[in-house]
Amino acid sequence: MTMNAKLTLTKMPTKFAPKLLATAVAATLFAFSGSAIAETTPKAKPVDSLQKLINDTENQKQSAAAEKAKQADDNAELASDDADDFAIQAQVNNEIAEQNKDDVESGQAVAIATPNLDDDSIKSIENKDGKIYKTTNLSNYARAVNSAVWTPNMRRNTAMTVKMQALLDWNHASPGPIDGGWGMNSTKALANFQTMKGLPSTGKMNAATWSALTKNIDPNQPVLVEYTLTKDDVNTNFAQTPSGSEAKSKMKGLYYQNIKEMLGERFHMDVRYLEKLNKGKSFTEGETITVINVGTPLKAKINRVVADKATKTLYAYNGDKLVATYPTTVGSTATPSPTGTFKIVNKVKMPWYKSTVKSGDKKEVFMLPPGPNNPVGVVWMGLSKPSYGIHGSPVPEGISRQASAGCVRLTNWDVLEVYANIENGASVELK
């Protein structure tokens, strides 16, 4: 086959030669020009290391500026929170001072049969029918609280603080009034919760503690909710609490002084925080306000409690199991509580208070009517040690800060929770 092809080419007519030559030349030129084109196509420039350094430096500056701006915002928020905390503490101090300068030399809660007693205060706090609320028109702040999730190394912020306080409240490690400020009672509540769950009691959040706090909580359960004020809410009896036992004894009841005070106790909130959440609100019937969504009340038998003066905490046990903890005030330097183990001998809701006042060489006795602003709040649980007991408080923000006349003082909502679960004859250790 090769030979025949060669002979055929040799015998090819001359007139075809130029055409073949032209074709060959064209092919050669095309190959050359393709090579030339390939060689002259611009290649990717090598990375300019100096320009890259400049770009990286500029990016770092922008990131640093953004971080600085964010830090400034965070600091501004914290400064605002701190200012609020100082204002709250100043008002609490004033309220405690006002209460402590009263003329009561000594006193004792007593149970008096009062058939027509107005117990709206108890109904307001317990609210056994449940609270109707919604979340459709919450503010951005409230939504941030509800969606807050703890992560390691996160900065302190109000949203996370409020969520942690609510989670502690829901888990029955009471932080006292929820106020958005991480103070003594919140740190104590977190440490107490850790003890309840068998975790190291550091009072600091970590992954294990966050997991335990949220374990039995519906992840969609909101912390802040909208509540619409009812006719019954605004028509509750309110009255300013006068100073002095004689003036108080002339009152029909030592009621809430205003609707904000009532709502603060119902929703386990510091009144100043309630006001902060609802700026511009008039607190009238039909108005929707933002409040804390309180959790399910404790349903666990309490047959032993320990009131510890050092930690200012009431520990509630069912046998050897710690089921709840509450911030408390146990006595004072002037009127220390006794030490030892006693028993609950009586439980009284809405007690009267027998106040003994020294006037010159004489002593006068006044009977102070029931109510949340009674010196022992809405509950008295008397001990086998006469004149001593576990009771509520007219100043919930002062728990763990104020003094008591030797007794164990809780917030009104916390003492109601203890009252609902403790047995007569339960052991009470004061130490």
Which of 44, 16, 125 minimizes the C-alpha distance to 420? Answer: 125
Q: What is the pLDDT of residue 407?
A: 84
Q: What is the DSSP track for 104-155? A: -SEEEEE----TT---HHHHHHH-TT---EE-TT--HHHHHHHH----TTPP
The answer on pLDDT for 13 being more than 50 is: no
Indicate whether this model's pTM tops 0.85: no
Which one has a higher pLDDT value, 234 or 337? 234
Encode pLDDT of 137-183 as tens digits: 999 999 999 999 999 988 888 899 999 999 999 999 999 999 999 98
Over range 85-92, report the average pLDDT.
Answer: 56
C-alpha distances out from residue 183 to 145, 162, 203, 355, Å = 18, 12, 11, 34
C-alpha Rg value of the chain to the nearest Å: 37
In this predicted structure, which of 7-16, 76-85, 348-357 has the lowest mean pLDDT? Answer: 7-16
Strands 422-430 and 302-308: parallel
Which one has a higher pLDDT value, 200 or 61? 200
The answer on pLDDT for 77 being more than 50 is: no
* Cα–Cα distance, 395 to 375 (Å, whole number): 9
Encode pLDDT of 336-350 as tens digits: 567 899 999 999 999
Over range 276-294, report the average pLDDT.
Answer: 96
Q: What is the pLDDT of residue 33?
A: 41
Q: What is the pLDDT of residue 94?
A: 60
DSSP, res 311: T
The answer on pLDDT for 402 being more than 50 is: yes
The answer on pLDDT for 65 being more than 80 is: no
Q: What band does 1 get if pLDDT is binned at 50, 70 and 90?
A: very low
C-alpha distances out from residue 394 to 35, 129, 171, 248, Å = 96, 25, 24, 13
Q: What is the pLDDT of residue 118?
A: 55
The answer on pLDDT for 16 being more than 50 is: no
The average confidence (pLDDT) of the chain is 80
The arrangement of strands across the sheet holding 133-134 comes to 133-134, 224-228, 288-292
Encode pLDDT of 205-227 as tens digits: 999 999 999 999 998 899 999 99
